[in-house]
Amino acid sequence: MSVAEPRTIVLFRHAKADWPQVTDHERPLADRGRKDAAEAGRRLADTGTPFDLALCSTSVRTRETWKLAVHEFPHRPKTVYEERIYEASPGELIAVLNETPDDVQNVLLIGHNPGVQGLADILAGEAEDDARERMDRRGFPAAAFAVLSFTGSWKSVEPGVAALRDYWAPAE
């Protein structure tokens, strides 16, 4: 794969979590979260993007979100459960993306707010159609995702490098 070919980054926030008496890292999905995670998976599959790699936080709610979403995909990408995504800042998420091998074209990152929303905001130098307006209006609720594209090496991912191509959030 040439670094001149467009690459896709999908930033996907975990679905709605429950609040049982467990640590934050161990919180499972709520009933609505399970429904929204599957719907987000269908919407991601509808983009037609063949994901090569999924980078998923190790928290219970992100792993459950990914398991339900990927079930809707035509093929399952390689999945790496990455501890650094849990509670990561946008800069820490960029560092994780910078380590992606250049033979990977399309990455899906399943994480948490405020890091995921912050990363979508700072990576998007431009936006198509009304994607930016929709993202700004809705924020980044549980199960939302942003689709960004850029050209270059994964080591070149930095603020302003990408274009926001699409944004989706479940109906509240």
What percentage of the chain reaches a pLDDT higher than 70? 98
Q: Tell me the three state secondary structure of residue 66.
A: helix
Rounded to an integer, the average pLDDT of 66-72 is: 98
pLDDT at 87 over 80: yes
pLDDT at 16 over 90: yes
- As a whole number of angstroms, the distance between CA 27 and CA 77 comes to 25
- Whether a cis peptide bond, with omega within 30° of 0, leads into 101 is no
The topology under which CATH files domain 6-168 is Rossmann fold (3.40.50)
Q: Tell me the three state secondary structure of residue 150.
A: strand
- As a whole number of angstroms, the distance between CA 10 and CA 172 comes to 21
Q: Are strands 145-151 and 106-111 parallel, antiparallel or unpaired?
A: unpaired
Q: Which of 136, 139, 145 is nearest to 111 (CA)?
A: 145
- The model's pTM: 0.95
